[in-house]
Amino acid sequence: MNTVLKVSCVVALMAAFAVPESAKGAVFYLRAGETNLAMPDGQVIRVWGFARDTSLALNDGTITVPGPALEIPIGDPNLTIHLKNHLPNLNGAPVPVSIIIPGLTAALNPVRHVNGRVRSFTHESFPGTPGTYSWNDVKPGTYLYHSGTHPALQVQMGLYGSLTKNFSTGEAYAGKIFDREVVLFYSELDPALHSAVALDDYGPGKSVTSTVHYAPKYFLINGSPFSGAASPLPAGSVGEKVLVRFYNAGLKSHAPLLQGAFMKVIAEDGRAYRYPRERYSFLLPAGKTMDALVEFRSAGQYAIYDRMMALTTGAGLPGGFLAFLAVSAAP
Amino acid sequence: MKPLAIVVFALFAVSMNAGVCEAAIQGRTGTEFDLVARAGHITTGDGDSILMWGYAVGNGLMQYPGPTLIVNEGDLITVRLKNELSEPVSIIFPGQDGVLAIGGNSGLLTREAPPDGATVVTYTFVASQPGTYMYHSGTRVDFQVEMGLTGALIVRPSSGANRAYSHPQTSFDREYLFVLSEIDPTIHELVELGRRSEVDMSRYFPVLWFLNGRTSPDTMADDGAPWLPHQPYGCLPRLHPGEIILTRVIGGGRDLHPFHPHGNHLRIIGENGRLLESAPGAGPDLSYSDFTLTVVPGSTYDALFTWTGEKLGWDIYGHGPGDPLQPNEYAPDHGKPLPVQLPEKQNLMFGNHYSGSPFLGAFGDLPPGTGGMNASGGLFFMWHSHTEKEIVNNDIFPGGMMTMLIVEPPAVRIP
């Protein structure tokens, strides 16, 4: 980087800091880094994830997969994410990272490899050089954010999370009132890739050269595969309107099926349907979000499982995309 | 065509000529059902014989899919299950609420029948809303549904016969069932060899695709064909011009199947056992028209289909202008000639379903050894998975998730 560019960057940064944060709407400080996830069968998987810090200077958040749930204040169309890059080097070089949010409009600045191929859908953050990502038209809805840099690798490694904005308090979209909220965030892990990345054995000339042989073995809801030890998710009480937000950050399609109750599917990709769709199951393709309202008619534990049968943990354990919603009796 | 396929098609032709097809959906009616989970072998179009687990009726054979349970809206349904297999099994009923399970042992999703051949688990529920549903094992669901423990459930509306739902705009003349599924034979081979513990469902790779538990061309054979004792349900929709058939489509496996009717679009009026309507009583005003229906595993679809030859631009009967109209004939094309001159026979190849004439109910001369699979002069339309690799039987074409719709001449009786 030449001196003129450096200076201009510093000026730009100073200019950004000079604006009071309150005037820019929601501001988040995210940090991409690595951590480990323990699977119910004893496997420990190296993943990349996001942490939410309180400032650019402090690294006081915890790296999680999925990343922190970002909530945009009601009525606020503006969003700024400052992204720090603490990812490990691969092949002796830093790994750039970025953030995109499908469904939110933003001016993107693609970055290309020297051979002209696109490497990143938008500008990148490097170790020591945070990037700033801004949106000014955030509509109420349920969204996924994820890395926009080498997404075939980085989304699979765990660089994703949820972003929500309500229309008003207790109102997801205009007229879509809810009393309780349940998050079902689906993602997948193929341990072969994670192992190769952890050992710096991924890339040209290494033992794993691409993500083309994707074969997920672990299916995570809110960051964990089902296990007998898992607690049911609280889903309010009988008669309440329960909003279930579905996210699929995996690379495959799935079909959540709610056993014993119907849902009113009210929105897809952060946009409300004109007419709700009454269903016990629906297709949840990769990268999609769906919102459903459920009014349970009796107390109990309701299973919700993937009807496309990602119901295994590793080779042998039952588990995977299975969760229970705990509904209590009407107060 | 390979010699094996010729033999199979010849068998099929014989069965067609026997003419014992059934238009109604075959199944078990009533309010109480005694099912036993047991093993048996199905046959597939590639000549394979595959171990399956399935639900049998009482002392009957294992069947794939399980018996289609046909019940009436509002009935209290009781299903009793015993288990002659080697691990616990159960039944869950997606789309039904308030299912009460008693007996047996507690399991993850419901109560389970232990593999002792004697313990009875009883499931009861009120079939509160009409529609097309399915039932399947709630135990190791990924593995046991693959093994065959699945079946269809049809709830008829109390408002009257020949309706899918209560609303009159859901009326039909005939109905047909399409349970779409697929299997990976290596899983079944491991189970048969006593190597159940080696089954890894994350390596699933299906190579056989089914309609109502049969691979094509067996899909087109009769219900209850004696050479398919474990696969009692055929899948051969037939209609007269202008009749409305209700197609009840079920995603019975674990993969998406884009189901493609030829001849006309499907009008999808219900999904997941619910009428597609904007408000209660509105009728299917949110219905939609598809020529490739996205069938999601675990979901069900009710679709109406009809065919008159409308807007073909020629008279499907080959009428002259002064001839009387046939029932439901598309009048604007009456008497219009076929707009092409048919080539000389020596310049043609003949498909098995060609009667020798392009006109409905008519026959023409065919060279010796050709045709033969069209006994009535009907018009044949292939219905199949639009994932074209699924219309094979373990790499042998044709086969798999494929059947024919037959538009029959008005004079031909469809049972």
Assigned CATH for A181-328: 2.60.40.420
Question: So what's the pLDDT on residue A24?
Answer: 65
Lateral strand order in the sheet of A233-237: A233-237, A322-328, A300-306, A256-258
- Mutation site for A-interface testing, chosen from B272, B278, B285 by largest number of A Cβ within 10 Å: B272
Strand partners, A246: A184, A290
Which of B97, B146, B204 is nearest residue A260 as measured by Cβ atoms? B97
Cβ <8 Å between B298 and A281: yes
Chain A residue numbers with beta carbons less than 8 Å from the beta carbon of B286 are 275
Chain B residue numbers with beta carbons less than 8 Å from the beta carbon of A307 are 94, 251, 254, 296-299
Cβ <8 Å between B274 and A255: no
The domain locations on chain B are 28-161, 175-307
Question: So what's the pLDDT on residue A315?
Answer: 79
Q: Searching chain B, which residue's CA lies closest to the CA of residue A299?
A: B98
CA distance A50 to A84: 9
The C-alpha of A188 sits at a distance from chain B's nearest C-alpha, in angstroms, of: 12
Q: Searching chain B, which residue's CA lies closest to the CA of residue A316?
A: B200
CA distance A68 to B35: 48
A21 pLDDT more than 60: no
pLDDT in tens, A260-302: 999 999 999 999 999 999 999 999 999 999 999 999 999 999 9
pLDDT in tens, A123-153: 999 999 999 999 999 999 999 999 999 999 9
> Which portions of chain B are predicted below pLDDT 50?
1-22
Strand partners, A181: A243
Cα R_g (chain A), whole angstroms: 21
| Cβ atoms < 10 Å from Cβ of A182 | 21
Domain with CATH 2.60.40.420 in chain A: 15-174, 181-328
CA distance A32 to B96: 44
Which of A217, A298, A311 is nearest residue B141 as measured by Cβ atoms? A311
CATH number 2.60.40.420 given to A15-174: yes
Q: What's the mean per-residue pLDDT of chain A? A: 93
Which of A280, A283, A316 is nearest residue B94 as measured by Cβ atoms? A280
Q: Two tokens at B45? A: 């179009």
How many beta-carbon pairs under 8 angstroms link A with B? 95
Cβ <8 Å between A311 and B197: no
Which of A281, A298, A316 is nearest residue B272 as measured by Cβ atoms? A281
Chain B residue numbers with beta carbons less than 8 Å from the beta carbon of A277 are 271
Cβ <8 Å between A257 and B94: yes
Cβ <8 Å between B203 and A261: no
CA distance B36 to B55: 5
Pairing of strands A160-165, A171-173: unpaired
CA B20, B21, B24, B28 torsion-angle sign:
positive
CA distance A223 to A186: 8
Cβ <8 Å between B202 and A257: no
Does this chain's domain B28-161 share its CATH topology with B175-307?
yes
CA distance B179 to B151: 8
Residue B390: DSSP 8-state: G
The residue assigned the tokens 């008005």 is B410
CA distance A174 to A171: 7
- Mutation site for A-interface testing, chosen from B137, B142, B153 by largest number of A Cβ within 10 Å: B142
Candidates A155, A191, A197, A176; CA nearest to A273 is: A176
SS (H, E, C) A169-211: CCEEECCEECCEEEEEEEEEECHHHHHHHHCCCECCCCCECCC
- Mutation site for A-interface testing, chosen from B91, B96, B97 by largest number of A Cβ within 10 Å: B97
Instruction: List all residues 6 or more positions away from B333 whose beta carbon is below 8 Å from its beta carbon.
Output: B309, B310, B311, B312, B313, B314, B315, B316
In the chain, the amino acid numbered A137 is D
Strand partners, B69: B28, B153
- Mutation site for B-interface testing, chosen from A190, A301, A305, A317 by largest number of B Cβ within 10 Å: A305
Question: So what's the pLDDT on residue B23?
Answer: 52
Place domain B175-307 in its CATH homologous superfamily: Cupredoxins -  blue copper proteins (2.60.40.420)
In the chain, the amino acid numbered A59 is N
CA distance A184 to B279: 29
pLDDT in tens, A192-251: 999 999 999 999 999 999 999 999 999 999 999 998 888 999 999 999 999 999 999 999
pLDDT in tens, A110-127: 999 999 999 999 999 999
Place domain B28-161 in its CATH homologous superfamily: Cupredoxins -  blue copper proteins (2.60.40.420)
Cβ <8 Å between A253 and B256: yes
